[in-house]
Amino acid sequence: FLKMGEYIPADGEIIKGEASIDESSVTGESQPVIKGAQGDHTSVISGSLVVSDEITVRITADMGKGFLDKMITLIEGARRKKTSNELALSIFLSGIAIVFLMVVCSLKIFSLYFHIHIPLVTLAALLVCLIPTTIGGLLSAIGIAGINRLMQKNVLAMSGQAIEAAGDIDVILIDKTGTITIGNRQAFAMVQNKFVLEIDCARVCYLASLEDNTPEGKSIREYMKNHYPDIEQEEAVWDVRKKPIIIPFSAKTRMSGVDLGGIEYRKGAQDAIEHFVGTPVPLDLSAEIKKISRKGGTPILVATKDKIYGVVFLKDIVKPGLVEKFAKLRSMGQKIVMITGDHRLTAAAIAKEAGVDDFLAEATPEHKLEYLKEIQSHNYTVAMTGDGVNDAPALAHADVGVAMSSGTQAAKEAGNMIDLDSNPTKLFAITQIGKQLLMTRGSLTTFSIANDLAKYFAILPAIMIPYFPEMEIFNVMRLATPQSSILSAVIFNALVIVALIPLAFQGVTFVPQEPAKLLRKNLLNYGLGGVLVPFLGIKFIDIILHRMGWF
């Protein structure tokens, strides 16, 4: 037995009563649906909310085979793969480390062949200086910095890998209800019957919603107060003299309103209002209703017992700032696709208004997941945003799954990021921070590898000069002694990691530009800098050690 405000605990069918049910969190359909014991719409889904009336439901789903159980199965099968950048860096660093290890081992064999003695500690120093210890020591700092920068934008990242994947996003899948749109339909316009005054129609709209505290009812009152300020003052006088009799929304009547001063004010669906008044909708209003439906909106008629006054246009409101942000994401080479459980007419209208590249309508959780996997099969990195139970499987399989904080717990558990402001425009900031993380890591990797050139000229001559004096020509830095050369290189290797920590935390400045131009800039700044800085640093440390009399 379920009443208004309660959630349906398991899949079943209504055997008694009729109610308005909000299935948006499980189907993505933003408008509540009327279901009852009679007719074609008797089945209900676990997780749906009863928003009016009372119903009795017989549970029909077997244990472990309901809607939520299917969602759990789809989510549990998710395994996020490593990004191409992460794989490339792992292979590169591992390869470099193996090559340098082989070089050091070959020096030991070389020393045995020529009957010379190279101390093990010297070979260890060479290995430590040549393998990519700098970037290895800074990777964690770069990841922590990325998480911290996202936190400043009110986004919780569950892992550094999620931020890294954000820098490689190719396609963004965005849920409509609660993500692109506010989630509740709002009053957008009012059209009055040509036989009544506009102010009279506005007054009936306001009074019919006087005690309706649903988001739609509040939006109608707000719209009327904003466009007709005198209505609220007028009503304040009436409210002192007359107490309204509240008529709550019922799935049976499909209307709501108040009885005030002997007058019945009602708002509801077209057929319900026609039955209430006893006359059909005027032709001019009927044409307006069709226009509203074609735009994907919901027409709500308002009337008294003797007359139909007009229609209120309720629509999904696109969150402010989305069009501009989507344009910026598109300029970075990312495709934006809106996904919704709504019918194509509504989806097309919202997609056009929001400025997305494409849309997928009437999508079930399985359809969303199949669509996402199809894109990933072409080696694209996919980001998904959503807030409902129906979004959870796709969020779990996406490379970057951004759940809205205002959404369901299932969505937040499935994603690897949570937007605390529930604003999909955050994707622009998330993408920027992801690209900045990749740039920072790439820059420091370039710097680290370039360092090896100076370390070669510091340590290798120091090892060989005692046995092969002619190799003095390679001591281009003119380091004091072989011992000071090796120690200077080791000290520099340790200090440079500490010196680069602030850059790892701050990150390289991100400026959207062509990859080729960015690569040239990186090689110039961090490649050439990585060669010059250690030459100067090692020489400076060697001078200090020599002057202190250590060597």
- The structure tokens listed for 249 are 């929304």
Interatomic CA distance for residues 429 and 260, integer angstroms = 51
Distances (CA, A) of 359 to 349, 368, 372: 10, 11, 13
Residue 100: per-residue pLDDT: 83
Residue 58: per-residue pLDDT: 92
Phi, psi (rounded to 5 degrees) for 382: -115, 135
| pLDDT tens for the 551 residues of the chain, in order | 998 888 888 888 988 888 888 877 666 566 678 888 777 678 888 878 888 888 999 998 887 677 777 777 767 666 666 777 777 878 888 888 888 888 888 888 888 887 788 788 888 888 888 788 778 778 888 888 888 888 999 998 887 788 888 888 889 998 787 678 876 788 889 999 888 889 889 989 998 888 888 888 889 999 998 898 877 666 544 554 567 788 888 777 888 898 887 889 999 988 889 989 988 988 888 888 888 887 778 899 999 988 999 999 988 888 877 888 888 888 778 899 998 877 787 788 888 888 888 988 888 888 888 899 899 888 888 999 888 787 888 888 899 999 888 777 888 888 889 999 887 778 888 888 888 888 888 888 888 888 877 777 778 787 787 777 877 787 777 877 778 888 888 888 888 888 888 888 888 877 766 666 777 777 788 888 888 888 888 888 888 888 877 65
Residue 190: per-residue pLDDT: 92
State the catalytic residues.
175
- The structure tokens listed for 347 are 């989806």
Interatomic CA distance for residues 152 and 183, integer angstroms = 26
Distances (CA, A) of 483 to 129, 463, 537, 541: 15, 9, 16, 12
- The structure tokens listed for 367 are 């359809």
Interatomic CA distance for residues 269 and 299, integer angstroms = 7
| 199 Cβ contact partners less than 8 Å away, ≥ 6 residues apart | 228
**Secondary structure of residue 32 in the 3-state scheme:** coil
**Secondary structure of residue 309 in the 3-state scheme:** strand
**260 touches 246 (CB < 8 A):** no
**pTM, 2 dp:** 0.69
**Secondary structure of residue 406 in the 3-state scheme:** coil
CA atoms within 13 A on the CB side of 472: 6
**350 touches 318 (CB < 8 A):** yes
Residue 77: per-residue pLDDT: 61
Residue 337: per-residue pLDDT: 92
Only one residue has tokens 């957008």, namely: 188
Ranges of H-type helices in 423-527 = 426-464, 482-506, 515-522
Pairing of strands 263-268, 255-260: antiparallel
Interior angle at CA 186, CA 185 and CA 192, nearest 5: 120
Only one residue has tokens 């997941």, namely: 369
